[in-house]
Amino acid sequence: MDPNISLFGQMITFLIFVFVVMKFVWPPLMEAVEERRKKIADGLAAAERGQQDLAKAESRVEELITDARGQAAEILDQARARANEIIAEGKAEGQRERDRQLLAARAEIEQETNSAREELRNQVSAVALAGAEKILKREIDATSHEALLADMAQQI
Amino acid sequence: MASGADKQTPSEYVSHHLEHLSVGEGFYTVHVDTLFFTWLCGLLFLGVFWTAARRATADVPGKFQAFIELVVEFVDDSVKEGFHGPRGFIAPLALTIFMLVLFWNLLDIIPVDLIPIFAHDVLHLEYMRIVPSADVNATFSLSLTVFVLIIIYSFKGKGAKGYLQEWLFHPFGKFPLLVPFNILLNFVELLAKPLSLALRLFGNLYAAELIFMLIALLPFYLNWIPGSIWAVYHILVIPLQAFIFMTLTVVYLNLAYEKH
């Protein structure tokens, strides 16, 4: 323990150090620390907000998906109904076409039948005429008995 | 006795080690070694922290900057807890005290003979004590500065009238007969603060230094055992003493500043 003038040298030294720290060291360091603290706080707040936005967006997406599902089901129902309709229409159309063709075929058959009958009649009358001619070779004249012959042909 | 001074007796060795490198006589002696190592520690501290302060940005800090900021924030929090007033001066003061005392005390970990031998054999300096906190001039320089600050902050915080009233009427009361006792107790209280601050630090470090010297007197093949044990224990003491000095300074200044 030998206190002496060194004490004052030490004190001055110490005061110089304190002054330098106060002027040049402390303020910039604290400023940086405070600024970073604020930055981090802002970042955390932004993250919080982002999370809220995300939750909101998710619920919106959920809503949209539900909507879309409903619409899709509706469209599907409509499509099914339309398909049934088309099938029914097709069936009806087919039915009509079939009837029409049947009718036409029948008419044709009828016509064919009639013409064949006519032909047959003519031929039979010719045959009958030929037969009668052979039987009544001499007495019967084709021209004079034509009316009779036509009548016979009609009756066949 | 690693110093190579084999002809010394143990008491000669210890007293040689306790001698300061000094110039001047009597009261006008200057402990050159204490002053030199105070400046060395101070410049080291200022250099490190100034570098960090110049580079300081609010971006992601590097490891170095993060470490320095850790220390600064630690001190700032301590001051915030202890001192309820403007911290523009108190906080840098506390940081300076903490780091300076810490660096001073850390010098005690350097093997006791290393730098004295270097000083003796290379620089031809007879004496060399490297731990400023084992020199009352260094510890009292801090505590007397704090003492002056206590008085300044008393005036600042309470005003001249309030401070005078505290001297006269505190702690026993306003009764006129009690005034002398009040003054006496306040006087003792005021003096006890710088004394206890300085002597606590000085005592711890002086004793530690002395014990390192006694350990160094053991044969070289033995002294590493108590040496390392004492050094490890001392590593606890070093920051603790720095922290105590800083915290008590803040507490004393708060007591001075706040109205009761």
* Rounded Cα gap, residues B175 and B86, in angstroms: 35
Give the closest of A7, A28, A33 to B137, CB-based. A7
Task: Name residue, tokens 């076409």.
Answer: A97
Residues of A in contact with B100 (CB under 8 A): 14, 17
Give the closest of B52, B59, B142 to A14, CB-based. B142
pLDDT digits (tens, 9 = 90+) for B170-189: 888 888 888 889 999 999 99
User: Closest Cα to residue B42, out of A140, A89, A15?
Assistant: A15
Find all residues with CB under 8 Å of B51, minimum gap 6, and list them.
Answer: B64
CB A25 within 8 A of CB B159: no
Domain count, chain B: 1
B191 is in which domain, residue-wise? 5-257
Q: What is the 3-state secondary structure (H, E, C) of B78-111?
A: HHHHHCCCCCCCHHHHHHHHHHHHHHHHHHHHCC
* Rounded Cα gap, residues B238 and B225, in angstroms: 20
What is the average per-residue pLDDT within B228-232? Answer: 92
Exposed/middle/buried for residue B116 (C-beta within 10 Å: 0-12, 13-18, 19+): buried
Residues of B in contact with A7 (CB under 8 A): 137, 140-141, 144
**Residue B146, min C-alpha distance to chain A (Å):** 10
Is there a contact between B20 and A18 if contact means CB atoms under 8 Å apart? no
pLDDT for B4 beyond 70: no
User: Closest Cα to residue B105, out of B229, B227, B245, B4?
Assistant: B245
Q: For residues B56 and B81, which has the higher predicted lDDT (pLDDT)?
A: B81
CB B241 within 8 A of CB B200: yes
pLDDT band, very low/low/confident/very high, at B210 (cuts 50, 70, 90): very high
Searching chain B, which residue's CA lies closest to the CA of residue A29? Answer: B53
Residue positions of B annotated with a catalytic role: 196, 200, 204
pLDDT of residue B2: 46
pLDDT of residue B7: 66
**Residue A9: phi, psi to the nearest 5?**
-60, -45
Task: Name residue, tokens 């600064």.
Answer: B72
Give the closest of A3, A16, A27 to B137, CB-based. A3
ipTM: 0.87
pLDDT of residue B13: 87
Find all residues with CB under 8 Å of B20, minimum gap 6, and list them.
Answer: A2, B29, B31, B32, B33, B34, B127, B129, B135
Q: pLDDT 10s digit of each residue in chain A, 156 long? A: 678 888 999 999 999 999 999 999 999 999 988 999 999 999 999 999 999 999 999 999 999 999 999 999 999 999 999 999 999 999 999 999 999 999 999 999 999 999 999 999 888 888 888 887 787 776 656 666 777 777 877 777
Residues of B in contact with A15 (CB under 8 A): 145
pLDDT of residue B3: 46
pLDDT of residue B56: 84
Is there a contact between B29 and A35 if contact means CB atoms under 8 Å apart? no
What is the token pair recorded at A118?
Answer: 């006519």
Please report the DSSP string for chain B in residue order: -TTS-TTS-HHHHHHHHT---EESSGGG-EEHHHHHHHHHHHHHHHHHHHHHHHH--SS---HHHHHHHHHHHHHHHHHHHH--S--TTHHHHHHHHHHHHHHHHHGGGS-TTHHHHHHHHTS--S-----GGGSHHHHHHHHHHHHHHHHHHHHHHHHHHHHHHHHHHTTT-S-GGGHHHHHHHHHHHHHHHHHHHHHHHHHHHHHHHHHHHHHHTS-TTTTHHHHHHHHHHHHHHHHHHHHHHHHHHHHHHHHHHS--
Residues of A in contact with B71 (CB under 8 A): none
Is there a contact between A25 and B144 if contact means CB atoms under 8 Å apart? no
pLDDT digits (tens, 9 = 90+) for B59-105: 888 899 899 999 999 999 999 999 998 988 999 999 999 999 999 99
pLDDT for B5 beyond 50: no
What is the average per-residue pLDDT within B38-57? Answer: 92
pLDDT of residue B170: 80
Residues forming a β-bridge with B31? B22
pLDDT of residue A96: 95
Is there a contact between A36 and B72 if contact means CB atoms under 8 Å apart? no
Give the closest of B59, B61, B93 to A18, CB-based. B93
Residues forming a β-bridge with B118? none
Find all residues with CB under 8 Å of B253, minimum gap 6, and list them.
Answer: B83, B90, B146, B149, B150, B153
How many angstroms separate the first and last alpha carbons of chain B? 56
Q: Give me the percent of chain B exceeding a pLDDT of 90.
A: 60
CB B130 within 8 A of CB B110: yes
CB B239 within 8 A of CB B224: no
What is the average per-residue pLDDT within B153-170? Answer: 89
Q: In chain A, what are the domain boundaries?
A: 3-155
* Rounded Cα gap, residues B58 and B22, in angstroms: 47
Q: Average pLDDT over chain B, rounded to whole? A: 90
CB B41 within 8 A of CB B104: yes
Does the pTM surpass 0.90? The reply is: no
